[in-house]
Amino acid sequence: MEQIRVSSVEDRAAVYKELLPQLESLMADEPDSIANAANLAAALKQTLYYASWVGFYFLKNGELVLGPFQGKVACTRIKVGKGVCGTAAAQRKTVIVPNVYEFPDHIFCDPDSKSEIVLPLIKNGELIGVLDLDSSEYGSFDDLDARNLELVAVMFSDSFSETYPIGNGS
């Protein structure tokens, strides 16, 4: 059984420094993308105390479809370009929202969510989905989170199986 351990939850830079190699190791010998997404969501939720929801949405038939996650029940489908997830997917860049109530077109899947960060997942130049983290506190995510979670997104995307029946927009 895999275990994720970090020595301090208060120092975010130290958490990421310890966490990233463990995430890489967690996925190293597992070819199944869904298994990797499930373990990544669990590991991030377990170690990032300020994240109330962590999950994946995968591009399928032109929309983002809910994948493995940790947290409350979530929206199942999101149109590309709609809400924070759809905006990150359409722009293919990380979106940090300190206050979701101030984000135009925010989709309220969880009324307790107050801030959010969404990172696009790109493989061979193609969008395959997004990694989404919510917090029940305002202003929970910053540039340190963005830089490190972008590494997680690349790590996952690089391991993503192109033959898996999700991704590629079809």
Name the residue ranges covered by the structural domains of the chain.
12-159
What pLDDT is stored for residue 9 in this prediction?
72
What pLDDT is stored for residue 1 in this prediction?
40
Pairing of strands 53-60, 95-97: unpaired
At 45, the pLDDT band (50, 70, 90 cuts) reads: very high
Gap between the Cα atoms of 86 and 45, Å rounded: 22
Predicted confidence (pLDDT) at residue 34 exceeds the cutoff of 80: yes
Question: What is the crossing angle of helices 12-28 and 33-47, to 10°?
Answer: 160
Of residues 44 and 109, more confidently modeled = 44
At 167, the pLDDT band (50, 70, 90 cuts) reads: very low
Can you tell me whether residue 145 is helix, strand or coil? helix
What pLDDT is stored for residue 121 in this prediction?
97
pTM of the model: 0.92
What pLDDT is stored for residue 10 in this prediction?
79
Amino acid, res. 9:
V
Tell me the average pLDDT across 27-50. Answer: 94
Of residues 106 and 23, more confidently modeled = 23
Instruction: Give the closest residue to 52 by CA, choosing from 124, 126, 125, 117.
Output: 117
Tell me the average pLDDT across 34-63. Answer: 96
Instruction: Give the closest residue to 76 by CA, choosing from 85, 88, 65, 87.
Output: 65
Task: Please give the CATH number for the structural domain made up of 12-159.
Answer: 3.30.450.40
At 3, the pLDDT band (50, 70, 90 cuts) reads: confident
At 5, the pLDDT band (50, 70, 90 cuts) reads: confident
Indicate the helix (H) or strand (E) that contains 109: none
Tell me the average pLDDT across 49-64. Answer: 96
Tell me the average pLDDT across 114-135. Answer: 96
Predicted confidence (pLDDT) at residue 168 exceeds the cutoff of 60: no
What pLDDT is stored for residue 52 in this prediction?
97
